[in-house]
A = this chain, B = another copy of it.
């Protein structure tokens, strides 16, 4: 089965035609989220027509268009509900109408985290599983949840995707979301510099000489034996461990899939988290598997088929 897919990020959009678990053709456009979404829609439609033609297919042969959006989405009504300085006109657009007019196919929309989970469940690290938590560790901590084969969405589309915002330190830092001590406020890219600076003896660490404190630098200096970097690294791992246990207790998954830029250090993070979960998660039925995402930037596109036609027969 074929499907069209758009993966819309803040500065680019990838338009693709997929067939089952393969991307047949794709084309990436530069965009500017600050200019809204409306100006880009004709270009997206044209690119989708092009990739279909390159694959020798007509849009009408496709199950539909799966649109992956970088903001809050109400899947049922196919509307964008909230944006964050990117494509701010999107809530007012009739995207389903645009799709039907310009491509003549069915339209479904979902946010990027849920699309990535669908892709990993259909064609990646979570293939064969129906009970999945996905966590992306990067500048922030994102995620999505599938329970018994169904994406968890909730009344306001917020269920299952705020895994970075479960407080793991009730005495901790104020998060950008407004809560206190979220995993994201204690161990993500944006909060890492502040966490480092508030660590004892920070001034003695080579981290204090860096213009930008990143996880890459943190792991680098920890490997080199810097005590401050080691202490912060261990603290971040413990935060992610507690967050993972919280997600397991909240959603009852069989597998946790970890993605995002921080997972470049999977060789450190993955065994730590698997051991943490084995030791501390309460799962009398067995052990939750902790794995790395496999599909990288292709995950959302490969979520097109399950978004449009549902999970495969198991």
Contact = CB atoms under 8 A, between A and B. Distances in A.
A200 interface: no
B285 A242 contact: no
A3 B37 CA distance: 54
Nearest to A281: B179
B148 A155 contact: yes
A249 B131 contact: no
Contact of A179 (B82, B158, B251, B282): B282
Interface string A110-135: 00000000000000000000110000
Interface residues of A, number: 47
Given A148-B154, A281-B178, A169 B166 contact: no
A168 B167 contact: yes
Interface in A134-190: 147-148, 152, 154-160, 162, 165-171, 177-181, 186
Contacts of A242: 167, 170, 179-181
A57 interface: no
Contacts of A295: none
A254 B159 CA distance: 12
A156 B285 contact: yes
Contacts of A246: 166-167, 246, 250
Contacts of A199: none
Nearest to A247: B250
**Copies of this subunit:** 2
Interface in A244-267: 245-246, 249-254
A251 B159 contact: yes
Given A82-B284, A281-B178, A282-B177, A154 B131 contact: yes
A204 interface: no
A148 B72 CA distance: 18
B281 A158 contact: no
A64 interface: no
A177 B158 CA distance: 27
A31 to B, nearest CB: 25
A147 B154 contact: yes
Interface in A65-81: 72
B156 A252 contact: yes
Contact of A249 (B158, B238, B280): B158
Contacts of A167: 168, 242, 245-246
A48 interface: no
Given A130-B155, A177-B282, A238-B171, A250 B162 contact: yes
